[in-house]
Amino acid sequence: MAITLFNTLTRKREEFVPLDRKEVRLYTCGPTVYNYAHIGNLRAYLFEDLLKRTLLFNNYNVKHVMNITDVGHLTSDADTGEDKMLKGAKREGKTVWEVAEFYIDAFNRDLFKLNILKPTILCRATDHITEQIELIKRLEKKGFTYVAGGNVYFDTSKLSDYGKLAQLNLNAEKTVQARVEKDANKRNPHDFVLWFTKSKFQEQEMKWASPWGEGYPGWHIECSAMSMKYLGEQFDIHCGGIDHIPVHHTNEIAQSEAATGKKPWVEYWLHNEFLVIGDNEKMAKSGDNFLTLSLIESKGYPALVYRYLCLGTHYRKPLMFSYEALEGAKNSYRRLTEKTLELKKEKTAMKEDKEIADEYLAVFTAQINDDLNTPQALATMWEMLGDAKLSGKGKFTLLLKFDKVLGLDLKNFKEEKIKVPAEVKKLAEERELARKNKDWKKSDELREKIKALGYVVGDTKEGYVVSKV
């Protein structure tokens, strides 16, 4: 069955046809590891995982490359602002290398908890400095660069189609000028740095030798260098959040197509919308007070509940986050897992099973192949689970098939995940009593004891909630 995807490059829904009939080559922009990922970042990785699972479901092999930005980068999309890695290091009194290690571990834990399939290749920018320098040299040889104020710039005026992804023309001009602080070295407002040797960050710890002097790469070059190393000079799909469209992905295209002379560099560009909290503000990692997966887990919402929540909103629609919505997802997920355990015990199939299951499978497949329409696919799943004409065994088999796409880890769901042991319950009750008596010290001690047993206790308006970590 054909897969239709909305391509940002053309602003149209298009039938997906990979360059190589058997293997899809996919690149997704990974994290900048100067802090924990917030749940808005995680929405992007969940969307990309859904895309990948959908491709696998349609019998494609997928070669998936994700980068880790572990080199100093700036707090804004522009070549200005504060160095993010450095800021993280200062805050924690560590070296930037230690900071990177710490947050890469945290990121991997998040992916694991969310049941996100591992990329085929997860590659670090600092391991690919040579490739980045080679790419800049290639651009230099073709006359696409200039040196000014000690830094190497990409000259966007050398391209006739710069900014085609953003499609903004005059508007884009205004937007970029408004967002980017003036840099007197730039010949054109859209030009960007490929290699820094001079910057306001004198304390910069990460530096490498280069033909232009000791320094470090600009923000965009790593994605072009690493994706082309592993996926070839042209590949199928590139993903990221919609915030990447006007600058980061625009510049990736510019430097990649300039270097190779081949167009299009990438066939399909897919972008997910933001997670939104309160009054239409996107959640930005650079701001203070952001929601992490650990934080919502500590409030009694397991990671897969967040995954279920995300499935309920189409990836190209803003996801309105609230604890009420998360509570709803939690209840649905609980019902789904209870149902799964119940169906697992059923051993008798019915002879009509195949026909009915095939029909549901066709509908489900059409829905996810329709630009990943997960809200509809969830409705089909629940419809199927309530269908008296299908046996319990038939439902269980089909549910596990659906879950190959949904990724809710239903196959591995065990009774004990929802049954809280008596011992833990008792500790939670004691803690509740301590809280009522305002004995915060004891309450904290009991929370630690519960944690040691592998559970977390959270507090809601309706009382405490215990969940497996």
Binding region for a copy of itself (CB under 8 A): 4, 12-13, 170-171, 280, 312-314, 317, 320, 324-325, 328, 331-332, 335, 339, 342, 359, 363, 366, 370, 373, 375-376, 378-383, 385-388
**What is the smallest separation between the CB atom of 72 and a copy of itself, expressed in angstroms?**
36
**What is the smallest separation between the CB atom of 280 and a copy of itself, expressed in angstroms?**
6
Please report, in angstroms and rounded to a whole number, the separation of the first and last CA atoms in the chain: 39
Q: What is the DSSP string of 358-372?
A: HHHHHHHHHHHHBT-
**What is the smallest separation between the CB atom of 6 and a copy of itself, expressed in angstroms?**
10
Kindly tell me which of 134 and 370 has the beta carbon lying closer to a copy of itself: 370
Alpha carbon distance 263, 159 (integer Å): 12
Q: What is the DSSP string of 188-202?
A: STT-EEEEES--S-T
DSSP state of 112: H
Kindly tell me which of 255 and 367 has the beta carbon lying closer to a copy of itself: 367
Kindly tell me which of 181 and 462 has the beta carbon lying closer to a copy of itself: 462
Single out the residue of 230, 236, 268 nearest to residue 22, CA to CA: 236
Given the structure tokens 């897919």, which residue do they identify? 270
Kindly tell me which of 214 and 346 has the beta carbon lying closer to a copy of itself: 346
**What is the smallest separation between the CB atom of 145 and a copy of itself, expressed in angstroms?**
34
Burial class of residue 210, CB neighbours in 10 A (0-12, 13-18, 19+): buried
β-sheet bridge partners, residue 61: 23
Kindly tell me which of 2 and 453 has the beta carbon lying closer to a copy of itself: 2
245 contact partners, CB below 8 Å, separation of at least 6: 8, 165, 166, 271
DSSP SS3 for 269:
strand
C-beta of residue 315 within 8 angstroms of C-beta of residue 271: no
**What is the smallest separation between the CB atom of 373 and a copy of itself, expressed in angstroms?**
8
**What is the smallest separation between the CB atom of 11 and a copy of itself, expressed in angstroms?**
9
Amino acid present at 105 = D
**What is the smallest separation between the CB atom of 397 and a copy of itself, expressed in angstroms?**
17
Kindly tell me which of 66 and 385 has the beta carbon lying closer to a copy of itself: 385
Kindly tell me which of 103 and 268 has the beta carbon lying closer to a copy of itself: 268
Rg (CA), the chain: 25
